[in-house]
């Protein structure tokens, strides 16, 4: 076994005990070769080796104002890496927090961190100071690289968290101390940190049903193994593909789809200057010649009519050939609406942050109506009962998954809930038919998945309880045709408070100001009491029955 290059052992020392690890499978020739390669740095494999693969002069990162080839990207990444290692004295294994939307600057910063042997901790741009503070407290990053437009909430979090010493804007041209300007003073290519395959590349934070952040630990080998599964066998991207989409790079869905997997194929990625709207995305698809799109079912529903309008105005279809849907359940009505609008069959898939990316999916020409797909080559999946025993085909039960990636939480007792008997349990209820197709039925816990975002009910409850009018509250997900689910709150008010439309808006605005705005309750119902057990535990299933 190769020796770890990460001298900061903070993350390694907080991995779960080996008996709680999932069993890792390396079932294909490509995965077996990867397992036997002990020294691995994923940025070296995907970026530094572009020249020997013939990709050096091909475009990699695109925006409305800039296009960088693989060679130009490496030059900028190497300069940024020198700043992190030389100017700030970071050592392999140190954590670096990243805060920004999807942009060339965010992608360059992420690549520089991981190439340096540092551990990337990317965060959603919508997170507030409270949520950022929880992540900082758990990951203990020394440096943060932040979009200059998103500094305020991070600075508020820093004031409460002594671990974070330095916040460095990565895209502020007017600031001589920005990452970009500091990097411009560096020169020359540098070798990647000689990380071992089991060294940590990133921590991805996911909010569980308790609302407390969980950090999924992902190694260099994990990411490269993911490239050898769904991208190789299902997606099959090509070097001439132009990839675009809406999932944030802070999500494993977005990181894989909009950076890692295109680099693995030698393709390019387009990042807009501003967040996508359906109308803007439709225009970008036609104007850039995009061939692969990633977004959630909610967005595809909104995008369908915009695509029809653009095609009619231009008297020509788009250049799209693959459209990937993930992040929430894909209703068949949405699939059919998109196919009618574009002629393209959506590529559906289910994955998990804990396992980095998609493990059940089928190519569009192999899909079965209503099903997500079959297990991706390199993985194994089954539907089991509460004891972990595989159920007969056609039965409803818990989904269990094994593969070359698996859940390892950073210092979290919930590891034993996710991994049992060597299998990963993502927390979904499924059915598998006789032909091996998997059908998603529901989340097995109280996670609310709304428009592709995961929302923990207790976190919303905590925000509502901080309002002076609220005595008690319970939050659930209510099925919704447009968004999959919406956040709904049941509130018991304090004496003298009037439960009217004005208070509903006041509470919604309060939640938006307290935590990420997408988590606010779109419906609020005022009740006299909440259903509880004799010990005082909230019975959410009774709220759902209402």
pLDDT by residue (tens digit) across 505-516?
Answer: 999 999 999 999
Per-domain residue ranges for the chain?
Answer: 1-19+35-222, 228-445, 448-545
The residues with which 235 forms a beta bridge, in sequence order, are: none
Nearest to 287 by CA among 262, 269, 310, 254: 310
CB 295 within 8 Å of CB 271:
no
Token readout for 346 is 């959506």
Supply the DSSP string of 11-40, one letter for each residue. TGGGSPPGGGSPPB---SHHHHHHHH--B-
pLDDT score, position 534:
42
Secondary structure (DSSP) of 223-284: HHHHHTTHIIIII---TT-EEEE-S-TTSHHHHIIIIIHHHHHT-EEE--SS---HHHHHHH
Kindly give the pairing relationship between strand 119-123 and strand 59-62: unpaired
> Which pLDDT score is estimated for 441?
73
DSSP assignments along 314-374, one per residue: HTS-----EEEE-SS---HHHHHHHHHHHS---EEEEE-GGG-SEEEE--GGG--TT--BE
For residues 24 and 45, give the distance between their C-alpha atoms in angstroms, rounded to a whole number. 21
Q: Give per-residue pLDDT as tens, 3-34.
A: 899 999 999 999 999 999 999 999 999 999 99
Distance CA 256, CA 247 (A): 10
Best CA proximity match to 428, nearest among 474, 486, 372? 372
> Phi and psi dihedrals of 199, rounded to 5?
-70, 155
Question: What's phi and psi for 400, nearest 5 deg?
Answer: -125, 135
> Residue 344, CB half-sphere, CA atoms under 13 Å: how many?
21
Q: Does domain 1-19+35-222 have CATH number 3.40.50.980?
A: yes
Burial 294-327 (b: 16+ CB within 10 A, else e): bbbbbbbbbbbebbeebbeeeeeebebebbbbbb
The closest alpha carbon to 347, from 441, 236, 270, 476, belongs to 236
In the CATH scheme, what architecture does the domain 228-445 have?
3-Layer(aba) Sandwich (3.40)
* Spatial separation of the C-alpha atoms in residues 147 and 126, rounded to whole Å: 12
What's the CA gap between 434 and 185, in Å, rounded? Answer: 61
Q: Which CATH number fits domain 448-545: 3.40.50.300, 1.10.287.1080, 3.40.50.1820, 3.30.300.30?
A: 3.30.300.30
- Identify the three-state secondary structure at position 408: coil
* pLDDT at residue 535, as a whole number: 40
Q: Nearest 5°: phi and psi at 120?
A: -80, 130
14-30 burial: b if 16+ Cβ within 10 Å, else e: ebbeeebebebbbebeb
- What pTM value is reported for the model? 0.86
Beta strands in 433-508 (DSSP E): 438-443, 448-450, 453-455, 470-480, 484-493
- 228-445 matches 448-545 in fold: no
pLDDT of residue 428: 83
Residue 509, classed as helix, strand or coil, is helix
Cα 112 to the center of its chain, rounded Å: 19
**Phi-psi map region of 102: left, alpha, beta (phi>0 left; psi -120 to 50 alpha):** beta
Listed as ranges, residues in the chain with pLDDT below 50 are 208-210, 534-535
Report pLDDT for 209: 38
What crossing angle do the helices spanning 501-514 and 457-465 adopt, rounded to 10°? 110
Q: Nearest-CA neighbor of 345 among 369, 328, 329, 327?
A: 369
């Amino acid at each position: 076994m190769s020796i770890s290059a990460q001298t900061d052992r903070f993350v390694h020392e907080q991995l779960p005990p080996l008996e709680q690890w999932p069993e890792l499978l390396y079932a294909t020739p490509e995965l077996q070769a990867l397992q036997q390669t002990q020294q691995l740095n994923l940025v070296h494999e995907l970026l530094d080796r572009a020249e020997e693969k013939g990709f050096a002069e091909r475009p990699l990162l695109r925006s409305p104002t800039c296009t960088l080839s693989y060679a130009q990207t490496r030059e900028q990444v190497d300069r940024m890496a020198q700043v992190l290692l030389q100017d700030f004295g970071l050592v392999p294994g140190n954590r670096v927090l990243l805060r920004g939307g999807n942009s060339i600057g965010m992608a360059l910063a992420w690549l520089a961190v991981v190439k340096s042997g540092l551990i990337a901790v990317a965060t959603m741009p919508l997170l507030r100071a409270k949520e950022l503070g929880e992540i900082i407290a758990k990951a203990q990053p020394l440096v943060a690289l932040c979009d200059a437009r998103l500094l305020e909430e991070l600075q508020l979090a820093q004031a409460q968290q002594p671990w974070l010493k330095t916040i460095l804007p990565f895209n502020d041209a007017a600031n001589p101390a920005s990452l970009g300007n500091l990097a411009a003073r560096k020169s020359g290519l540098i070798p990647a940190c000689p990380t071992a395959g089991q060294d940590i590349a990133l921590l991805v934070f996911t909010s569980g049903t308790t609302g407390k952040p969980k950090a999924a630990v992902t190694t260099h080998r994990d990411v490269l193994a993911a490239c050898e599964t769904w991208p190789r066998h299902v997606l099959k991207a090509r070097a001439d593909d132009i990839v675009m989409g809406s999932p944030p790079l802070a999500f494993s869905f977005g990181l894989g789809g909009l950076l890692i997997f295109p680099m693995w194929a030698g393709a390019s990625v387009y990042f807009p200057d501003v967040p996508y709207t359906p109308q803007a995305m439709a225009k970008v698809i036609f104007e850039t010649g995009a061939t692969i799109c990633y977004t959630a079912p909610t967005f595809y529903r909104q995008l369908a009519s915009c695509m029809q309008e653009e095609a009619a105005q231009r008297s020509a279809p788009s250049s799209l050939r693959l459209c990937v849907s993930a992040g929430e359940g894909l209703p068949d009505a949405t699939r059919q609406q998109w196919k009618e609008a574009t002629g393209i069959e959506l590529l559906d898939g289910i994955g998990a942050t804990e396992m980095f990316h998609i493990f059940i999916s089928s190519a569009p020409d192999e899909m079965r109506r209503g099903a997500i797909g079959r297990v991706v080559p390199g993985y194994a999946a089954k539907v089991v009962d509460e004891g972990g025993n595989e159920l007969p085909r056609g039965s409803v039960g818990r989904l269990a998954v094994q593969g070359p990636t698996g859940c390892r939480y950073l210092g979290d007792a919930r590891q034993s809930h996710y991994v049992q008997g060597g299998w990963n349990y993502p927390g979904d209820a499924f059915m598998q038919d006789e032909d091996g197709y998997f059908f998603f039925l529901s989340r097995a816990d109280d996670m609310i998945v709304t428009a592709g975002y995961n929302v923990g009910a207790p976190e919303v409850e905590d925000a509502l309880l901080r309002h002076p009018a609220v005595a008690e509250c319970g939050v659930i997900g209510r099925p919704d045709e447009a968004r999959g689910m919406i956040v709904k709150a049941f509130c018991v008010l304090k004496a003298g408070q009037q439960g009217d439309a004005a208070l509903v808006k006041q509470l919604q605005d309060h939640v938006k100001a307290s935590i990420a705005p997408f988590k606010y309750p779109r419906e609020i119902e005022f009740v006299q009491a909440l259903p509880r057990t004799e010990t005082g535990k909230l019975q959410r299933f009774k709220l759902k029955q209402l």
